[in-house]
Homo-oligomer: A and B are copies of this chain.
Amino acid sequence: MELIDGKKVSDAIKITIAEEVQTILSQGGKRPHLAAILVGTDGGSITYVNHKVKACEQVGFASTLKTFDEDISEDALLDTIAEFNANKDIDGFIVQLPLPKHIDEQKVIEAISPNKDVDGFHPINVGKMMIGLPSFKSATPAGILELLKYYHIETAGKHCVIIGRSNIVGKPLSVMLSHKGYPGDCTVTVCHSRTKNIAEECKRADILIAALGSPEFVTADMVKQGAVVIDVGTTRVASSETKSGWKLKGDVKFDEVAPLCSYITPVPGGVGPMTICSLLMNTLQAARGKK
């Protein structure tokens, strides 16, 4: 069993990005610039945004963090988005989700210029990804593809089972992995809460991707000997072992599943670090004027 080390892969990709930034600057180009908008004081959101800003510094990007109180009006938020869309120095930006309930999240997503939508959430980017056209790809699925690539994990003709049909992981990943090319050409099955005999479906997987957000859902009896297991779950559960009072739990019962696997991602340190990495890669693409 080999552990897929998302931290290591992410660090390697960040070094490549940092080198590209230096090349751009040495050729008189502009420093890539990622901006983020954070509304409210949700603990998870603040942590994620801070990680993103820190990652920008690591690779030599410029970063801007604009924060708003929980009670900002939708119009004021949309005004800021319009400013960022128009600001030529900002190559890409994100609005950290979730947003407070009085703000229409979909309206906000669609207000972001598709050319700066480095989260890949705008319907036009989702549609282009689906059709197989160049686009900003949603960060978590793109990060998973990078992990498969880094470890040279074969995908063509493999049966990939994805548990979860979310817009940000399950659905886009199912399309990306069934596309022609590498990583891709998988036979893909999408399972979810209405799937019958989910253990049996999972057990058929050469590559099993758990993205349902239910801690330790995948147990040893659901995994084929030699399978590749990718755990996308990151649920905060109460814990007396940590100072914060919680720890992250994946969707896979790691201790009993790991011995069966050819490769497996831990939580934390597997898929998680790759998500920010994808965001940086998308921002670099945006800065280059490509998608």
Binding site for B on A (CB under 8 A): 106, 122-128, 130-133, 156-157, 159, 165, 167, 171-172, 174-175, 178-179, 185-192, 194-196, 201
Q: How far is the CB of A192 from chain B (nearest CB, A)?
A: 7
Question: Quick check: B157 and A194 within 8 Å, CB to CB?
Answer: yes
Instruction: Pick the contact of A157: B128, B131, B189, B195 (CB < 8 A).
Output: B195
Supposing A123-B128, A131-B167, A167-B132 touch, asked if A187 and B195 sit within 8 A by C-beta, the answer is yes
Q: How far is the CA of A136 from the CA of B167 in the complex (A)?
A: 18
For chain A, what secondary structure do more than half of its interface residues adopt (helix, strand, loop), or is it mixed? mixed
**A189 to B192, Cβ gap below 8 A?**
no
Q: In the bound complex, do residue B188 and residue A194 qualify as a contact, i.e. CB atoms below 8 Å apart?
A: no
For the complex of A and B, list the 3 residue pairs with the smallest distance between their C-beta atoms, beginning with the closest.
A127-B127, A123-B127, A126-B127
Residues of B within 8 A of A128 (CB): 123, 127
A187 cross-chain contacts in B, Cβ below 8 A: 189-192, 194-196, 201
A83 to B131, CA, bound (A): 26
Q: Assess whether B194 is in contact with A185, with CB atoms less than 8 Å apart.
A: yes
Closest B residue by C-beta to A198: B187
Q: Which residues of B are found within 8 Å of A175, using beta-carbon distances? A: 130, 171, 174-175
User: Quick check: B130 and A130 within 8 Å, CB to CB?
Assistant: yes
Query: Least Cβ distance of A19 to chain B in Å?
Result: 32
Complex CA distance for A167 and B157, rounded to whole angstroms: 20
17 of the cross-chain contacts (CB-CB < 8 Å) are A123-B123, A123-B124, A123-B127, A125-B127, A126-B126, A126-B127, A130-B167, A130-B171, A130-B175, A131-B167, A132-B167, A157-B194, A159-B196, A171-B175, A186-B194, A187-B190, A187-B201
* Closest chain B CB from A13 CB (angstroms): 26
Q: Which residues of B contact A201 (CB under 8 A)?
A: 187
State the Cβ distance, A98 to closest chain B Cβ, in Å. Answer: 16
A142 to chain B, nearest CB (A): 16
Known contacts: A133-B106, A174-B174. The answer to whether A157 contacts B196 by CB under 8 A is yes
> A171 vs B178: C-alpha distance in the bound complex, in angstroms?
9
For the complex formed, measure the closest distance between the CB of A170 and the CB atoms of chain B, giving whole angstroms. 8
Among A174, A189, A201, the one with the most B-chain Cβ atoms within 10 Å of its Cβ is A189
Residues of B contacting A178 in the complex (Cβ-Cβ under 8 angstroms): 165, 171, 174, 190, 192
